[in-house]
Structure 1
Amino acid sequence: MSKLLYSVTMSADGFITGPGGDMSWLTPHIGPNPLVDELIGRIGALLVGNRTYRGDDPHRGTEKEGKAFGGGWEGPQFVLTHHIPQTSQPDVEFVGDLATAVTAARAAAGDAYVNVLGADVARQCLEAGELDEVLTIVAPVLLGDGTRLFDHPGGTNVKLERLSVGQVPHATNLWYRVAG
């Protein structure tokens, strides 16, 4: 059975986007990362939030714009949204509720990972008990504002078990299992 993995790059101060959802901060920090290259081959489907799907792109203005992992991955995407568009996209299914989206993404992924993209969808998956692992790639930059990696007003305590820690010249990889 597939696992749900939230993979994300964040600033050292815990932001995954800059103010207003800006992703341009990420562009100078995208570089060779053998762990990410290996992971891409293990992803069977994406579960994506609507804001992430329609949002800013660190590859804006290049041939990689609008492509998952900058064009490094292709396959089925399930976009969680309250506003299902009338027109369809190849390999993209728009889904109106989390349970249906998770079930469909897991089925499409088979034994591979369902990679979760989007802070709000990851939070929803975590709260529903569906999130299995978190891969956080920490970039050496302080943003000061934006979208936090995990935001839960009033706070919460989610226990994580470290699976691995690694470094590449431009980032630190932290891989965790969500503890039951």
Structure 2
Amino acid sequence: MRKLTYAMNLSLDGYVAAPGGDLGWSVPSDELFQWWSDRVGATGLALYGRKLWEGMSSHWPTAAQQPGATPAHVEYAGRWLRMPKVVFSSTISTVDWNARLVTGDAVTEITRLKAEDGGPMDITGATLAAAAMRAGLIDEYVLVTAPVLVGGGTPFFTALDNWVNLALVETRTFPDGVLLTRYETRR
């Protein structure tokens, strides 16, 4: 059975995007960017919601060819393009870049994917992750918390019907006061 991890940058007050989708507060240091790149390189399958997919797919397929692209950005772009992806959306009709589209029930498909053999899966996008969270499918939470309060926007966590007990398994501090905390779900 595959492990499903929900990992994203978030503000100290718990948002993955500020009002209007603003992500300007979450620009990573070089060290944190490398950590995310290594994570992408180790991901067996990435699960994307529509909004995050549209943002990522509008940038990373051509990022390596952009003027001023750093070696780290070129490396990340290559890893992102090679990483298998599943995009969950009922409003888009096609996806590219080593991705396939799922228009049906996300929880049913994520449950099926978890039962398959293969490498670890990452779920990205707060709305998609919320559905998996409510269904009890997430095995690990990775919070990369920036020391900023944005006051609203898209929350990392959703309202739940039941408690989810977690065990802290890792902490790490990055430049600029960014703190990574990793928790495993206690079953």
TM interval, shorter chain, is: 0.7 to 0.9
In structure 2, the residue matched to 1:157 is 163
Query: Is the helix fraction higher in 1 or 2?
Result: 2
Residue 12 of structure 2 aligns with which residue? Answer: 12
Asked whether the 8 Å contact 2:49–2:87 carries over to 1, the reply is: yes
Contact persistence 1:81–1:97 (CA under 8 A):
no
**Matched residue SS, 1:83:** coil
Q: Given residue 129 of structure 2, which amino acid in structure 1 is its aligned partner?
A: A
| Counterpart among 69, 72, 97 of residue 90 in structure 1 | 97
| Distance change in 2, residues 1:152/1:146 (3 Å) | same
- The size of the alignment, in residue pairs, is 172
Amino acid at match of 1:83: T
Contact 1:106 1:114 in 2 (8 A): no
The aligned runs of 1:33-48 (5 Å cut-off) are: 33=32, 35-48=35-48
Change (3 A) 1:53 1:176: same
Q: Is the 8 A contact 2:165 2:186 kept in 1?
A: yes
Residue 63 of structure 2 aligns to a residue whose secondary structure is coil
Task: Tell me how large the CA RMSD over aligned residues is.
Answer: 3.0
One-letter amino acid of the structure 2 residue matched with residue 31 of structure 1: D
| Unpaired stretches in structure 1, ≥5 consecutive residues | none
1:123-179 deviation per Cα after TM superposition (whole angstroms, max 9, x unaligned): 1111212111011011121111211111218x7532211111111213111000122
- Cα deviation digits, residues 37-93 of structure 1 (max 9, x gap): 543332111111112212489x69x8269x9x95243321111112350x4423111
Instruction: Report SS of the residue matched to 1:39.
Output: helix
Q: Give 1:115 shift.
A: 0.7
Q: Partners in 2 of 1:169 and 1:143 — Cα distance?
A: 19
Structure 2 residue aligned with 1:142: 149
Alignment of 1:1-180 (within 5 A): 1-27=1-27, 29-33=28-32, 35-55=35-55, 63=63, 70-71=76-77, 72-73=79-80, 74-85=82-93, 87-95=94-102, 96-98=104-106, 99-104=108-113, 107=116, 110-152=117-159, 157-170=163-176, 171-180=178-187
CA distance in 2, matches of 1:49, 1:88: 12
- For structure 2, the residue ranges without an aligned partner over 5 or more in a row are 67-72
TM-score (norm 2): 0.77
Structure 2: distance between partners of 1:4 and 1:168: 24
What corresponds to 2:69 in structure 1? none
Structure 2 CA distance for partners of 1:151 and 1:101, relative to 1, 3 Å = closer
Q: Look up the SS of the partner of 1:177 in the other structure.
A: strand
Identity percentage over the alignment? 27
**Is the contact made by 1:47 and 1:105 (CA closer than 8 Å) also made in structure 2?**
no
SS in 2 for 1:158: coil
Contact 1:53 1:79 in 2 (8 A): yes
User: Which amino acid letter does the alignment assign opposite residue 3 of structure 2?
Assistant: K
Which deviates the most, 39-48 or 29-38?
29-38
